Structure 1
Amino acid sequence: MTGMKVKEVAELIGVSIRTLHHYDQIGLLTPKETTDSGYRLYSDENLEQLQQILFFKELDFSLKEIKEIINSPSFNRREALLLQKKMLIEKRNRVDKMIETIDKSIKHIKGEISMTNKERFEGIHFKHNLYEQEARKRWGDQPVDEVNIRLKNMTDDEQKDLSDKWTAMFNTFALLINQSPKSPEVQTAIKEWFDFLNENFGEYSFDAFYGLGQLYIEDTRFTKNIDQYGEGLAKLMSDAIKFFIDSQKKG
């Protein structure tokens, strides 16, 4: 048998042996072979899969999400790498902007420059919203006001966590872009999206969720914002929401 032992892999990539054992226990990364003496050996294929896992972790995907993605029949390693590259570049650009803001802030403290309030927060944005004006028009002021109050009462860390979860969910959808909106994987993601909206942005009835799905393709602002994660994603999500609602009502 050929392959790398757990200790060798842990030393190669700088993770603990315990982490690799955990990945094995939850079925995320199972060594290809086991020697007669009980040593687990990682193949080149295992290492390729581990690389994908670590890239997704760097992009704030949960282990549960990563497992669902890489075990999907439609998973394509090359497509995943291209998407991960795009996401990492976007993350780098955000970090670079925040570093630039920090440098300016230091100069401001030293009296070398004067910063405007807008400049203080460049690169630091909780930018995801449900297009407040449109939401008010369709569902009234009260639910929108409740969401705004909830967001204002969040700490910076809580807002960042919510923003990261939002981005991670759309990145998950992007990996499913070539699937049918009726596929189990897409429908599972849509159910998670429905639950996420209800948990964080007020109560969404089936009718309200259906209306939101229609906005994804009828309102160019929504379409542009969603399709930045993948061309045609707004259409996929809209169709998937319609199928999800129809299924729920029939059930």
Structure 2
Amino acid sequence: MSEGLTVGRAAALVGVSVKTLHHWDAIGLVRPSERTYAGYRVYSGDDVARVHRVLVYRELGFPLAEIGRLLDDPAVDAGAHLRRQRSELVERIARLQTMVSAVDTMLAATKSGMQLTPEQQVEIFGSDWRPEWVGEAEDRWGDSPQWAQYAERAATMSPEDWQEIAATTEELNADLAAACRTGVLPGSPEANALAERHRATVAGYFDCPHARHVCLGRLLSSPEEGFAAYYGELAPDLANWLRDAINANAEAHGVDPATATWE
């Protein structure tokens, strides 16, 4: 710069307000090295370079007092300052890139959900499984926070994870069916334990407090839904038994099934 800049031109050049430069001047962080005959501040090339260094350190999160000490340290030359700033910026870029990757993963999860091909789904969940059920569920609940939770978690699961989930669910269903067939009473310790296992399974997909579990039990036992028929193949009236077991377990945990809501 062959000529100095007024505070207004300097502020416009570096992208800060005039008020900011006045404040930095007042605290001794960046003082213009020249004045006009009328007493107005004039920033030299070195002054503007110092402003840029302040901006970099501020972007990195350094407080102004610490920035002043760094810039005024006589043991550190300008090149050392630039190298330090570059190192700090590279580290920040790496952290930001990691965050971007995490956000990309979450976006992909929200969009895609289960990362299994239809063939893998049938192989893992059995011949009765219909891959189109995932799309139907997304059409119905895709705008809900619970679907977003499911999609984020599902996107990180491997086929081996799904196989483990399928095996756990199959074992749970067998125990539910056996309890229903043998007349285990909802509200009994055995039934409550099974209801908690069922809730824990659901919680693997999305948060499922007891009130939400009650609402899910209503859905599973509704004649208009396909779940009742599914459970009916495991044991007669199993959907209603599971609903009653869920209700009794929720009541034992201080939730009134009659007034329980999804939220």
With the shorter chain as reference, the TM-score category is: 0.3 to 0.5
- TM-score, length basis structure 1: 0.46
- TM-score, length basis structure 2: 0.44
Which structure has the greater CA radius of gyration? 2
